[in-house]
Structure 1
Amino acid sequence: MKNIAIIMGGYSSEYKISLISGNVVYQYLDKTKYNGFRIHIFKEKWVYVDENEAEFPIDKNDFSTTANGTKITFDCVFNAIHGTPGEDGLLQAYFDLIGMPQSSCDYYQSALTFNKRDLLSVLKPYGIKSATSYYLNKGDHIDTDEIVKKLGLPCFVKPNKAGSSFGISKVKTANELPIAIEVAYKEDNEIIIESFLDGTEVSVGVINYQGKIIVLPLTEIVSENDFFDYEAKYLGKSQEITPARISEEMTQKVGDIAKRAYEILKMKGFSRSEFIIVDDEPFMLEMNTIPGLTTESLIPQQAKAAGISLEDLFTNAIELSLKN
């Protein structure tokens, strides 16, 4: 039996969602092959939490723990941390240094994909399109007229390195822009402002499944709110339709682009890319490398549509990590 450390929590606003994802992984882990251990990673503590909710500190020298006098070491880490430090490369680099297999992509890919503007810049020369954008760093002068002239209205203001739609605003008038920028700065010191793409939003899961890179059935996202924000994502304020109601040709086209991005970036593990299709042209918004794994999340929905159970999905991720 292999010991699997399921890491969850994290240092960002996404920690609550990560705890749900991590517990789903713990629940659906194949108990005939693996012993699952829930590891909570927070700024103030890294602890193993047993079934009685007792906490035992993690020794960061070798990522082990000692519970009730017994030292426990791990064969592999299943990463379910959304946001920093699990999705931005910090933990990937740490596990690489101590020689611990882990389920997500490598540290460079994590850091790159977590930075929306760097990701889109790297993919642009390969013909992967994105919205017109404007960048700001905290402390930069804000020229509202210049931003509106370049992007038009409405536009979207986003923290550059944050997930789960925290800090995102849809701006409809020039007066709202400075307020939206302040909201985004609460999550990150870098901002990306993008032109509004009026089209069909789809989410595309790409995974390495049993050694082969596959595109999962696409999900179409129809938000009741102004856009696919936190409420739409997690509080049921959206319709998620899998498979998406788009033509076979378009399904193929978007899937090919998402798969190409996965291959260009030398990705491993899970990826979920978001696109908006405008006039038969897919525009990429972002790529998530630790997508939500709650039973309602998009990757589990897509895997189910592809006939892959959660148990198989998680087993596959662990087996590939152990091979690598």
Structure 2
Amino acid sequence: MKKIAVIMGGFTKESIVSLKSGEVVYDNLCRKEFDPYRIYLFKERWFMKDEKNKEYPINKYNFTVCMEFGIKNIQFDCIFNAIHGSPGEDGILQAYFELLQIPYTGCHFHHANITFNKKYCLTLLKYFGINTAASFFINKNQIFCKDKILKKVGLPCFVKPNRSGSSLGISKIYEDKDLFNAVEKAFKEDEEIIIESFLKGREVSVGVFSFKNEVIVLPITEIISKNDFFDFESKYSGKSKEITPAKLLPNVESKVKKIAKKVYKILNLSGISRAEYIIINETPYFLEINTIPGLSKESIFPKQLKVAGISLSDLFKNAIYEKMKNRI
């Protein structure tokens, strides 16, 4: 049987969500085909837990697990990446596994780096004619003019860390006096930030994945947040209403799915992804994309799979074999 390392944790506040996603993957991998291992990667240490929750250190030199005082080493046939945020979603771990020549689920490290960086991702998609919000980028040590920014993006607007997930560090501001505090908050998460205009419309989330060289678009979810916007609390504390499938007019649904598939192909993705859009006057505007979406019970992607009649076990099996086949 193929030995699969289900990696979870990470270096950011998203690690809490990643641990839940990792457990879902571990529980749903078919034991007739795979021998899964729970691997925890944190800044302080990397380790594996066995069924009795005994911990074993990871050898970072070759990503093996040393057991029984070096007598037995576990070598993995494939990595199932369930780490949201850095270093699992930004290309860092993907590049590491490329060097070790170990197959891993999800997209290539180049594409992970682009999608996790909002500035890079939006710039690329705009080039291909994808609708996005007006935006302004600032580096941490850059001197900026408040009036110039607000003239471009208007009010209200969003202030976001450029490289962060789960809506961490995001603020929605209504008055110009609140801009500096919002910028300060965003800079606590990243050294680059993006300020975007507010798009008033219906927010939807679209899951997309590759299966046998075909791009599959899942049923669309409409998101109605009880908070001011779809923030961390809305996503993970039940402070939002999620309707799957979304009640959209057939022509609008078709348009959103077409754009979602186009974005997936433009970004040259593989594996699973989930992107957010705002629909204004029947036109979808791209917000952002996650190449390692949440897989916990609260997450949107598994709910979309359920409506589509696709089991988590089948999805995970496809993700693993797709990557292992490419290494043969």
TM range, smaller chain: over 0.9
The residue type paired with residue 55 of structure 1 is E
Aligned residue number for residue 110 of structure 2: 108
> More displaced, 116-125 or 48-57?
48-57
Instruction: Tell me which stretches of 4 or more aligned residues in structure 1 moved more than 6 Å.
Output: none
The residue type paired with residue 234 of structure 2 is A
The residue type paired with residue 245 of structure 2 is P
1 CA distance for matches of 2:154 and 2:240?
26
**Structure-1-length-normalised TM-score:** 0.98
Aligned residue number for residue 84 of structure 1: 86
1:315 maps to which of 314, 317, 320 = 317
1:66-114 deviations in Å (ceiling 9; x for gaps): 2234211111000000001100001111111111010010000000000
> More displaced, 73-82 or 25-34?
25-34
Offset at residue 313 of structure 1 (A): 1.3
Aligned residue number for residue 190 of structure 1: 192
1 CA distance for matches of 2:150 and 2:24?
43
Identical columns (%): 53
Aligned residue number for residue 58 of structure 1: 58
Aligned residue number for residue 25 of structure 2: 25
1:227-253 deviations in Å (ceiling 9; x for gaps): 000010000000111111111111111
Aligned residue number for residue 76 of structure 2: 74
2 CA distance for matches of 1:104 and 1:204?
17
Is residue 2:254 matched to residue 1:252?
A: yes
The residue type paired with residue 146 of structure 2 is T
2 CA distance for matches of 1:209 and 1:245?
26
The residue type paired with residue 266 of structure 1 is N
Aligned residues: 324
1:26-69 deviations in Å (ceiling 9; x for gaps): 11111111111011011111111112222111112221112234
Aligned residue number for residue 38 of structure 2: 38
Tell me the SS of whatever aligns to 1:139. coil
1 CA distance for matches of 2:324 and 2:27?
20
Tell me the SS of whatever aligns to 1:322. helix
1 CA distance for matches of 2:153 and 2:266?
28
1 CA distance for matches of 2:134 and 2:265?
24
Offset at residue 276 of structure 1 (A): 0.4
Offset at residue 296 of structure 1 (A): 2.1
> More displaced, 192-201 or 45-54?
45-54
Uncovered stretches (5+) of structure 1, i.e. residues with no partner: none
Uncovered stretches (5+) of structure 2, i.e. residues with no partner: none
2 CA distance for matches of 1:17 and 1:82?
8
The residue type paired with residue 12 of structure 2 is S
**Structure-2-length-normalised TM-score:** 0.97
Q: After the TM superposition, which residues 1-324 of structure 1 pair with which residues of structure 2 at under 5 Å, given as runs?
A: 1-68=1-68, 69-324=71-326
